[in-house]
Amino acid sequence: MSEPQEKPIKRPFKALGTPLPKVPLRPFWCLPTRLDDKAYVENSSSDKKFMLFLPVIFIYGGGGFCLIGWTISILANDPFWSMLLGGLALLAFAGWGHWKLRRMKQTRFIVFDREKGVRRTQVGIFKKRTLEVPFDECEGRLSRSPGARGAPGHRLVMYHPTIIGPLYLDESITGIDSPLAFWSFLVQYMDKTKPLPDIPWLRDYPNRTQGLGAMEEWKKKEKSPNFIDPWYEWEAIVSQNPKLDSNYYMEHPEELAQWNGKPPWSMNGEELVDSGIMPEWMLPPDEQERYRAQKGRKMAHGGVKRSP
């Protein structure tokens, strides 16, 4: 993986949520538009096709409301014909818009390029331009937001030190499993030195890993009295060490240099363990074996170096 350069945090606001380690925390899950061993592609909400979808739905609703009002006026023996004409006009316009949307090709996507190790997005309202940043430099965060009927929602967001806007990747009102499973997939997929995630879209490719297993198996493990959830373990680690959060360096930018160009959000699992930030058991089983083998070789050549 590429070596990220030391960059100051230029966001004018603090990032929401808890920073995520680049380690699988749940069984893999994703819902791609296209996926192979070179790139993961999903639709972008900034595409014109998506931006025009809601206005068309509202126009449909307005037309339906007018027709309902006209029907009520008929039943009241006081027909309001202008409401009928307005409703038909709105429905006709919405139908034309729907037809145009179906013919419109999508031009904006979110791309995670495994070969180059970059995240690629198209930005700009009137003029499209491509924004490409190394995945290693990006920070994933899990934030909580109010959900329906008071239940908390959970959102997976990605930030970059020198880019103001966040990238929203996944949201769930049923719990943390879906956002963490997608993050686990991205972490495994974007490290081309590691096997591909074992998911249905990649079954035709060799050299795959099951990571933390299937979600059904994971749910059974959660019921075990000795089970320790790696996410809550990591959350406790971050709460005890604020220097693992990029927000800390907005107020203390001079301390960012202590990581020698490799801050915590840029480290992979093995590097987090080597630096003493994370316990070894939080690595997936196959990565634990590989880490122990690598550690043995490092010790034979002069020991393991730790970050400050």
**pLDDT tens for each residue of 182-215:** 999 999 999 999 999 999 999 999 889 999 988 8
Which candidate, 214, 217, 264, places its Cα nearest to that of 18? 264
Residue 140 lies in a domain: yes
Does one domain contain both 64 and 207? no
Does residue 161 share a domain with residue 84?
Answer: no
Burial 81-93 (b: 16+ CB within 10 A, else e): eebbebbeebbee
Residues 113 and 176 in one domain: yes
> What is the distance between the terminal CA atoms of the chain, rounded to a whole angstrom?
21
Share of the chain above pLDDT 70, in %: 68
Express each pLDDT in 140-186 by its tens digit.
999 887 655 556 788 899 988 877 677 888 777 778 999 999 999 99
Average pLDDT (231-260) is: 90
Give the model's confidence band at 124: pLDDT under 50 very low, under 70 low, under 90 confident, else very high. low
pTM summary value? 0.78
The label of the residue with tokens 């879209």 reads 201
| One domain for residues 144 and 158 | yes
Q: How far is CA 47 from the centre of its chain?
A: 18
pLDDT tens-digit map of 19-48: 999 999 999 999 888 899 999 998 765 555
- The three-class DSSP label of residue 281 is helix
Predicted pLDDT of residue 229: 93
Residues 136, 188, single domain; the answer is yes
Split into its structural domains, the chain has a count of 2
Residue 8 clears pLDDT 50, i.e. is over it: yes
Note down the domain range covering 29. Answer: 18-45+108-257
152-156 long-range Cβ contacts below 8 angstroms, 24+ apart: 154/178, 154/179, 155/17, 155/179, 156/180, 156/182, 156/183
Check whether residue 130 and residue 231 sit in a common domain.
yes
The predicted-structure confidence for 240-254, as pLDDT tens digits, reads as follows 999 999 999 888 888
Residue 4 — pLDDT band, cuts 50, 70, 90? very low
Confidence (pLDDT) at 151: 62
Say if residue 202 is in the same domain as residue 92.
no
- pLDDT of 49 > 60? The answer is no
pLDDT over 90 for what percent of the chain? 34
